[in-house]
Amino acid sequence: MAKLCAGFNVVQIKTMNNPLLEDWNTDFGLPPFEKIEVTHFLPAIKKSVEDAKDQINSIAENPEQPGFENTVVALDHAGIRLDEIASVLFNLNSAETSSELQSAAMSVSPLLSRFSNDITLNRKLFKRIEELYDKKDSLGLSGEQEMLLVKTYRSFIKGGAGLDENHRSRFREINEELASLTLKFEENVLEETNSFYLQITDKEDLEGLPAGIIETAAEEAAASGREGWVFTLHIPSYLPFMQYSAKRHLREKMFRAYSSRAYRKQNNDNREIVKKIVNLRTEKAKLLGYDKYASLVLEDRMLNTPEKVTGFLENLHTESHRYALRDLEEVQEFAAKNGHNGKIERWDWAYYAEKLKMKKYQIDDEVLRPYFELEKAGDAIFRLASDLYGLSFEKSEKLNKYHEDVRAYIVKDNNNDHLAILYLDFFPRKGKSGGAWMTAYRDQYKDGSKDTRPVISVVTNFSKPSSKRPALLTHTELTTFMHEFGHALHGMLSKCTYRSISGTNVSRDFVELPSQIMENWAYEKEWLRSWSSHYETGQELPDYLIDKIKEAMTFNEGYASNRQLGFGFLDMAWHSMDKEFKGSVDSFESEAMSKTNILDPVEGSNMSCSFGHLFAGGYAAGYYGYKWSEVLDADAFSLFRKKGIFDKETAESFRKNILEKGGSNEPMDLYKKFRGKEPTIDAYIERSGFRNGV
């Protein structure tokens, strides 16, 4: 065993022999995953923070007159290595975590928050930014340059640059505490998700479940050393169980476990964390001169005030609520005719809705699943990207990856230019958070003539292949894949100069347009027929099933829209407070969602305590963006429908005006350049079937 040199402590040794701090001499400059140990992160980030501080100080102390290049651009380029290391840490913490990695993330989070505060609270630096902002009209800036300057100035104002010294100190404390609380919130939800399992040993309790789901549950049991079949709260297991299990008492058990995660649990209770986060956000907004947190967040959005967001939600609620009640009545009547007594409960909805869908359209997820083999779906999505945007995807076994399940691709343009590295990470693991997301290990940006291309990752939780069949997708999972791939296109096709406004660094209520528009092709016969076939027989997906997919597109859309609007109302309620919240999380949630609660509430369940989008993600005061983006994508895709779903001219316009532009211009201006007009809700209402009478 090698001896440590006298005079060096462990942290110093980790810094000296730290792969995160060395040049990443890997193909395409990818993170050296195979060399990274958890213990490398804290010293690497500490060192990178110090280096970045030196860069920031050199900008602030520059004796030359403030200029766009020596101030705004220099700031955009500062701390690049720090950002890359932090991206590795936090992306792994979501996709391949451990208790040690969670501890590392918790340790560095306050450091990063403190560093962020050091930038925006640097008086000399802000003075240079402010001087440039005040004379921006006379600087001769391009549109992208002016956008960077404006966003930089706004970020300083929202980062507390205008506060006096006493308020600056409190502002720092708030940001550091929020950084730790949001991490703890996510950890609690993951722990609750992983800790529950439903073990079935009596074969009769599998009644109604499809063979493929049963196979997966048997393999889950075997992998965990248990007998029989095991079902978990991870979506690929939980959702089909709720849709197909004929055992109502087991559905109830699963529902109660899922809906009570991090709520009323001794060790992982998020109720107090929710209160603290909300109150700190409210206090932060007031420190900055805003009446509420939503006002602070929405200032830079397409819908830029709480009143506009609430008006939008109310408008859609008016249009859709009666259809939600229609859906409820239809499912209730169907259940009653099929042996159900009493009201439909929340653990009954997915089961009877799925059966009703099957009766009306002779279609359900399990009828379609054999036709949507994951491998073929991935190839088809790649071909679609090639048809629309001229891209090619080369799978590589040599590129650095963070887990053996991950697939790595080299993405090129039609002229063979390198565009991006794409990671695809499909299947659930104990260390992976639930859901699906796209993220970046490196954003695109330019430095002189050098164009640094992005490293993008799509992470999902699809059903694994079993010993008897390949990985098969439900149609819902197919649209999820396409949704996240749309985000990936936004990141990969970026052609901006400045990294802080490239790729998906856009307004939250605009970022979902590129993802949600991709979902539309999953309903188009011309595309589905080009690749889908039965994994056993090779039979093409029949036209009548594709027609049924299209017909079923609006099935329960009233209920689904009502549910999403409920989440939007809850989000706005939490972030529209103007004073400290001291009440009950449960009662507050119930009141906020009351107008959309068409099913009876379930005692012991709570949405807020596991609502990661709001309390561990970036959607606070922005969840409405999902519905707003549906309006945008319906309006945008109507142009593809008019000109052809593979029309290269329309695709080229979408690429040039939306996908390549990132946040380099105001989103409404970008949208109008593509569409020729502002969006209306008409296409969304028509697609959802909300004007066909009730």
Give the residue numbers marked as catalytic.
Answer: 484
Do the beta carbons of residue 440 and residue 87 sit within 8 Å?
yes
3-state secondary structure string across 268-317:
CCCHHHHHHHHHHHHHHHHHCCCCCHHHHHHCCCCCCCHHHHHHHHHHHH
Q: In what order do the strands lie in the sheet with 407-412?
A: 392-396, 407-412, 418-425, 455-459, 437-442
Task: Report phi then psi at 251, rounded to 5.
Answer: -60, -40
Element (H, E) at 356: helix 346-361
CA 693 to chain centre: 34
State how far the Cα of 292 lies from the Cα of 135, in Å rounded to an integer: 30
Distance, CA of 63 to CA of 176 (rounded, Å): 32
Residue-level length of the chain: 694
Residues 400, 377: Cα–Cα separation, whole Å? 24
> In Å, how far are 143, 270, 309, 694 from 189, measured between CA atoms?
42, 8, 28, 39
Are the C-beta atoms of residues 481 and 375 closer than 8 Å to each other? no
Q: How far apart are CA 556 and CA 367, in angstroms?
A: 18
Q: How far apart (Å, rounded) are the C-alpha atoms in residues 255 and 448? A: 55
What are φ and ψ of residue 163, in 5° steps? -85, 155
Give the C-alpha separation, 297 to 688, whole Å: 29
CA separation (Å) from 587 to 19, 77, 584, 593? Answer: 50, 47, 5, 10
Distance CA 259, CA 606 (A): 6
**Long-range contacts from 322-326, C-beta under 8 angstroms, 24+ separation:** 322/558, 322/694, 323/557, 323/558, 323/559, 323/561, 323/688, 323/689, 323/690, 323/694, 324/558, 324/559, 324/561, 324/562, 324/596, 324/598, 325/558, 325/598, 326/558, 326/694
Tokens in use for 109? 């989070």
* Closest C-alpha among 75, 83, 69, 77 to residue 122: 75
Cα four-point dihedral sign 631, 632, 634, 635: positive
Structure tokens given for 285: 């907004």
Q: Who's near 135: CB < 8 A, 6+ residues apart?
A: none
Question: 171 with 284: CB under 8 angstroms?
Answer: yes
SS3 656: helix
Instruction: List the structure tokens of 687.
Output: 């697609």
- Whether 19 and 32 have beta carbons less than 8 Å apart is answered as yes
